[in-house]
Amino acid sequence: MRHCVRIKAGWRDPMTVLGGWPDTPYTLGLISGGDGRWSWLARLPDRTETLESGDGRDPFEVLAALLGESGQGGEGPFSGGVAGLASYSLASRIEPLDLGASPDWPDLVLMRFPAVLAFDHGARAVWAIGRGESAPLAREAAERAASWLGDDQAIAFEGVLAPAVTADDPLAFEAAVEDVRARIADGEIFQANIARRWTGRLNPGAGPFDLFARLVAQSPAPYAAWLRLPGRAIVSNSPEQFVAVTLDGAGRRVSTRPIKGTAPRGATLALDEVEKQKLAASAKDRAENLMIVDLMRNDLARVCAPGSVETPQLFRLETFANVHHLVSTVTGRLRADASAADLLRATFPPGSITGAPKVQAMKVISELEPPRGPFFGAIFWAGFDGAFDSSVLIRTTAFVEDPQGWRFEARAGGGITADSVPHAERLETEDKISAILSALTEPLA
C-alpha cells in the first residue's frame, strides 16, 4: 500500500456520516471529543483476521504481515492501515498467564483499511484517503471513501435504550478491595485494578449505535470509539490514550498518557473546585499514578532507544463530563529495529488497568473477576506509514447479538492500594459508569 491519494471535501459531521451505516460489519469510528483535532471513519476492509483463544498464530506477526512495508504518509495522523481490537486476554499470549477466554470475544480482531475518511475539526475539512499498490488503485480507494459522505443517517431511537441495568453485588466488590489490600500488606503486589460489571438488554428497536451517539453528544471523550463486528459491537467513551507513535523529523516518538486518580464532578462550580483541589492534593491518588508511570517507563524501555524514556508531565489534572482525573505523560524514541507491533507486544495490556508488579497483578485480577473479554484491552490503529495510536477500553460497553436482541455488559474499576477504602472505591466505580447508565436508562433529550 505504498501509494496514497487524498481528495479534499467540504465539512460533514463524522457522527452524521457514521450514522448512515450503523449495522455494517467491520466498521470503525474514532471520534475525538473535546479539543481533539482529528476523527476517522473506515469501513469495507480488504482483509480481516480474527484470532480466537485457540489460534496458535503469533498475533503480532499477523499484525506486522498485514501492514507490510511502510508507505508514504497522508493527510492527518491516520491515513490508512490496520485497525484492531485487542481483548484483555491477548496478554496470555505475551506472558505465561491463564486469564480465561471470553465465550463471546476473540483475543484479537484486525482489519486492513485501504480507504479512510479523516475529519479535520480545526480546519473544518474532510479528507478521503485511499491506498493502493499503484496510483490508480489508490485513487479508486479514495473515491470510494469520498462516496461514503453521501450516505443518509439512520433515524435515532428516542426512547429509553435499556429497561433495566443490573449491577454486580456491591458488597462483593468491597470484599475484593479488602482482599487486594491484604495482598498488598503481605507484599504480594503494590497495586491492582479491579472492576465491577453492569449487564442488561436493549429495548426492541434500539441498537448499540444509539448508545454511542448519545455518549458522544452528552459526554464527549477524546478517545471515543465505535467498532461494529458481525453480531458484536464495542461502544467506548474512553478518556485514556494507551500508547502512540508519531512521526517527526527526529524519528518515531512514542508516548503514553496513563490515568490514575479520580474524583467526581461537583454539583456547583464551588463544589467542583473543591473536588479538583482534593484530587490534586491526594497523596493516595498521586502514589497510585506514580506506580503506573514507573511501570509504563519500564514497558517503553523494552522497545525505545536507551536513555530516551522521559516523564515530561506528572499528575496533570484533567476534567471530563462526570469526573476529574490525574494524567501523566511518558515519552521515548522507538528503536530503529522496532515496529508498532513490537511496541504493542512490549506494553500490552495497559498498566493503568492492571497494577504493579504487572504480571502478578494480572494473576490477582484473574482470581477476583470473570474473564474480561474486551474490557481494559485496547482499540488501536497502525498506519501504513509507521504511525500508531491506541486507547484503553475503559468507559466501554460491549454488545452481543442473540435471538432475543442485543445484550450488553459494561465494567468500571479502580486502582486499589494500601490506602484504599472499600466503600469509597465502590462509589468511584459508580462515578465512572454514571454517563453510560444515564445514556442507557434515560430517553433522548
In sequence order, what are the residues at sequence separation of 6 or more whose Cβ sits closer than 8 angstroms to the Cβ of residue 246?
A: 77, 252, 253, 255, 387
Q: Which one from 49, 75, 260, 425 is the annotated catalytic residue? A: 260
- DSSP class per residue in 126-161: EEEEEEESSHHHHHHHHHHHHHGGGPPPPPPP-S-S
In sequence order, what are the residues at sequence separation of 6 or more whose Cβ sits closer than 8 angstroms to the Cβ of residue 42?
A: 27, 28, 83, 111, 113, 115, 116, 117
Q: Which one from 49, 75, 240, 409 is the annotated catalytic residue? A: 240
Active site residue 240: yes
- DSSP class per residue in 310-355: EEEEEEEEEE-SSEEEEEEEEEEEB-TT--HHHHHHHHPSPGGGTE
| Distance in angstroms (rounded) separating the CA atoms of residues 247 and 253 | 6
- DSSP class per residue in 32-67: --TT--EEEEE---SEEEEE-TT--S-HHHHHHHHH
| Distance in angstroms (rounded) separating the CA atoms of residues 349 and 347 | 6
First to last CA, the chain: 44
Catalytic residues: 240, 260
